[in-house]
Amino acid sequence: MTTIYDKAKYHYENFEEDLPQKQAYVHTGFFIGWLIEKDMVSEDFQKSFENLIADFKLRKITGPEVYEKSGGVFAKDMLNEEGNQFTMFYFDFETGEYRYHYLEAFDCEPSVYHVEDTWENYDHIKEWIDNEYEYWCEKNE
């Protein structure tokens, strides 16, 4: 059984207010978009979602849209070795910093689910992820 990092349904099943279901894909989708941009997805994921990946890289669709259209499950088998190592370090809900950086990067009021799925927001959180990735690379040299 593969490791599951996140599922969108974990989030939309627990919305405290009436939000569109697509909001459950945003925070993890931004991270998945970054992984795609850095070519840290597995060969199987690349083959299975070649068109989605190409559209993302052309900015025709966003990371959250890729996440939604690829099934809404963020799992270990989607990533290559480097992608998994970094995800375990940074994205893990228990020990990683992504959630805290996301909350700091965006004024998440009233909740993390209110951040809009825009390229501007992706580019903003991308800077935070890039910085953490640089730190992680230096730490693991």
Q: What pLDDT score does 85 carry?
A: 97
Q: What pLDDT score does 108 carry?
A: 77
- Label residue 99 exposed, middle or buried (CB < 10 Å: 0-12, 13-18, 19+): middle
- In whole angstroms, what is the distance from residue 75 CA to residue 97 CA? 18
Q: What pLDDT score does 69 carry?
A: 97
pTM, to two decimals:
0.95
Return the amino acid letter for 140.
Answer: N
Backbone angles phi, psi at 41, to 5 degrees: -95, 160
Q: Look up residue 120 and give its two tokens.
A: 């501007």
Average pLDDT, the chain: 94
Backbone angles phi, psi at 56, to 5 degrees: -65, -50
| Rounded average pLDDT over 63-69 | 98
For residue 79, what is the DSSP state? B
Residue 98 predicted with pLDDT over 90 = yes
pLDDT, tens only, 18-64: 889 999 999 999 999 999 999 999 999 999 999 999 999 999 999 99
